[in-house]
Amino acid sequence: MSSKKSTQSSATFQRMNYIYQLMNVSMMLKNNTGSLLSSNYGKLLLSIGRKGLSRMEPEIKRTICKGCNVLLIPGETASVRLHKKPASRIVWKCLKCSSIRRYNLRPGYELWAEKDEAVIETVSPSDNKEDKSKDKNSEKKA
Ligand SMILES: [Zn+2]
């Protein structure tokens, strides 16, 4: 049962990875179509993550705007500023919808997802190949 769950989440991660790459490629398009496409792919990416109960890496999640789901590229679709006061932080502002996100830069600050106790299971592509080969072997024996 656990192998079925891990392959399911692996397929979800593959879809999410593909859509994230599409977001990046669509931003290369000229005019406004690139950001519209990127925004639609962003919505799709978030909905797939929600449906598959899969969490995105914080580094990837932070590149997607919370307001309009467009890919945040510094200087192109986002402005990035460092603020020292009142606390050391980095401020990302979307240039499409003007939504603002602030992230801590305090020394020693660690996201919960980066802590050791947050990791329950790690899935690597080689695990899936082993599972498939085991399945084939078990079918041959039966
Ligand atoms: Zn936005």
pLDDT digit string (tens) for the chain, length 142 residues: 445 555 667 888 889 899 999 999 988 888 788 888 889 999 999 898 888 777 788 888 899 999 999 999 999 999 999 998 888 899 999 999 999 999 988 888 888 777 888 777 776 766 555 554 444 444 444 3
H-helix segments, the chain: 2-26, 33-51, 58-61, 125-141
What spacing in Å lies between the alpha carbon of 64 and ligand 1's midpoint? Answer: 8
What spacing in Å lies between the alpha carbon of 85 and ligand 1's midpoint? Answer: 24
What spacing in Å lies between the alpha carbon of 136 and ligand 1's midpoint? Answer: 47
What spacing in Å lies between the alpha carbon of 134 and ligand 1's midpoint? Answer: 46
What spacing in Å lies between the alpha carbon of 68 and ligand 1's midpoint? Answer: 4
**What's the confidence (pLDDT) of residue 91?**
94
Cβ burial 24-52 (10 Å sphere, 16+ → b, else e): eebbeeeeeebbebbbbbbebbbebbeee
What spacing in Å lies between the alpha carbon of 99 and ligand 1's midpoint? Answer: 6
What spacing in Å lies between the alpha carbon of 60 and ligand 1's midpoint? Answer: 15
**What's the confidence (pLDDT) of residue 70?**
92
What spacing in Å lies between the alpha carbon of 21 and ligand 1's midpoint? Answer: 19
Q: Locate tokens 């799709």: which residue? A: 44
Q: How far is it between the farthest Cα atoms of the chain? A: 68
**What's the confidence (pLDDT) of residue 135?**
47
**What's the confidence (pLDDT) of residue 120?**
78
**What's the confidence (pLDDT) of residue 142?**
39
Q: Domain extents for the chain?
A: 2-118
